[in-house]
Structure 1
Amino acid sequence: MTARIGDVVLGPGRPRICVPLTGATTDALVAEAAAVPPDVADLVELRIDRFADVDDVVSVREAVAAVRAALDDRLPLLFTLRTAAEGGGAQPSPEALRALLVDAAGLDGVAAVDVEAALPADLVGAVVAAAHTVGKPVVTSFHDLVGTPARQAIVERLVAQQALGADVVKLACTPTGPEDVLTLLAATRDYAARPDARPAITMAMGPLGVVSRLAGEAFGSAVTFGAVGAASAPGQVDAARLRDALELIHAAR
């Protein structure tokens, strides 16, 4: 099964490269957006949790419009608010988060919305419904900041995200040894082999997990994150060098 974010198709083949924007001001976000090379990135993530005025819906709308204007037209925009509980920079109330994500789903400049699977089910459902009503996909996500779930537990988490209405499922974990990276890769392969699988994004964070950011085509992860400038997560690598590596692996396959 495939999913489409803007004109970018997620599915088998070379993983798509997503570049996060993490500036705290509109000007900083615009500068980051303008620096993203369209021949390196496939899509861009607006990490609005790092935005200083994240509590002001009007300011967020203006930031989205400014970022969209600064980006190459070929690069669709994924709107994400990563909560502090999952490694992000903000912790709004459930009511505020719901309002922000539902509003973002309706913005012309937003091609898809990320919502954390661990949030209250009614909040997740409201975001999924708002996005689907206007024909936009939803990425549901889960981040384990302390360890790596067991192989079957990873598969079960991804399957549970499908039940929430996800078009794309995502899981990131923290390996404490090489065996955890192998667990993540094996679970990704298990999930991708299911006939009902959605496009998946998986990664092991930190230096140990860098290989998982490169091996998506072999194991079934459809997107990987690369940095243009400062990294937004542990183990994230330079987007241009990442693309070279992915192209090399793709050609070999």
Structure 2
Amino acid sequence: MNKGLQLRTRKGDETVHPKICVPLMGKNREALQDEWKQLKEKTVDLLEWRVDYFENIRDVDLIVDIATEIQRETKRPLLFTKRSEEEGGQAVSLNENEVVQLYEAVIANDAVHGVDIELRQQEKNIHHLIEQARNQKIDVILSYHNFTETPSALLLEEKISEAVVLGADVAKIAVMPQSKMDVLTLLQVTEKMSHTMPIPLISMAMGRNGMISRLAGGLFGSALTFASGAQSSAPGQIPTADVEQVLRILKRNM
């Protein structure tokens, strides 16, 4: 029954009209409820639960229950993410096997529409979770984040290709530019890879230098952009209303 995140693969030279995703970062159930209630009147296509901010991250039953509630109350696809500290997430007490068990639970209970798994995870765990998610028709994003720099175009292309080969439903790259040239590198890679990939691509440059990629990424083939709600989950995220306005203008004139 789950139809995944419903992101589109680029067709030819078309402009992609990216969907807007807003992170939920509350530390407890009440804070999360406040966050999603504030988004009721916003044009938000997806929600991402950044569970690494959740104070009871070891309570798997509670997490499954809250994820189910978010879906029921918001009527929006839900992306489930436990971001590692190495890739910009919060420090938590779970080891990799425990993270896998957490993902298994939300997948098995059909509590989410998609999960974000970092490419740094062990390949056997990636394959296992992809198999579990496919059985439930839940999308898997395989992601690479670099909060320090923008690697070479070649390395970024390799990360995207790795996600495709491993069986991702969506590939994601996020980098930290040190200059406007770094942003161009990210956009050039997005333009090139989105033309040939069999799956949707999400890309962004973070920080002040990279804000343009969050607004105009769809022109280069990025299928999703992240905007800030009550809180920002990464440097350079722009408030939802501003992103909505810019995307509406671009769509009307493209």
Quick check: 1:201–1:223 contact (8 Å CA) kept in 2? yes
Alignment of 1:37-76 (within 5 A): 37=40, 39-71=42-74, 73=75, 75-76=76-77
The two structures have a TM-score, normalised by structure 2, of: 0.92
CA distance in 2, matches of 1:166, 1:20: 21
The match for 1:224 is 225
CA distance in 2, matches of 1:33, 1:10: 25
Q: 1:177 aligns with which of 164, 176, 179?
A: 179
Q: Offset of 1:39 from its aligned partner?
A: 4.8
The match for 2:4 is 5
The match for 1:93 is 95
SS in 1 for 2:21: strand
Report the number of matched residues.
246
CA distance in 2, matches of 1:162, 1:242: 28
Amino acid at match of 2:126: V
Q: Offset of 1:176 from its aligned partner?
A: 0.6
Alignment of 1:133-172 (within 5 A): 133-172=135-174
CA distance in 1, matches of 2:227, 2:215: 10
Q: Does 1:102 align with 2:89?
A: no
CA distance in 1, matches of 2:136, 2:146: 31
Alignment of 1:207-218 (within 5 A): 207-218=208-219
Q: Offset of 1:38 from its aligned partner?
A: 5.7
Quick check: 2:144–2:174 contact (8 Å CA) kept in 1? yes
Question: Structure 1 stretches of 5 or more lacking a match?
Answer: none
Aligned-residue RMSD, C-alpha: 1.5
CA distance in 1, matches of 2:4, 2:241: 21
Quick check: 1:26–1:66 contact (8 Å CA) kept in 2? no
CA distance in 1, matches of 2:162, 2:175: 17
SS in 1 for 2:149: coil
Percent sequence identity over matched residues? 33
The match for 1:237 is 238
CA distance in 2, matches of 1:187, 1:197: 15
The match for 2:13 is none
Q: Offset of 1:30 from its aligned partner?
A: 1.3
SS in 2 for 1:10: coil
The superposition leaves residues 180-235 of structure 1 with CA deviations (integer Å, 9 ceiling, x where unpaired) of 000000011111121x3410110001111000001122111000001122211100
CA distance in 2, matches of 1:9, 1:249: 19
Moved more, 162-171 or 54-63: 54-63
The match for 1:121 is 123
Q: Offset of 1:120 from its aligned partner?
A: 0.7
CA distance in 2, matches of 1:65, 1:197: 30
Name the structure, 1 or 2, with higher relative contact order (CA <8 Å, separation 6+). Answer: 2
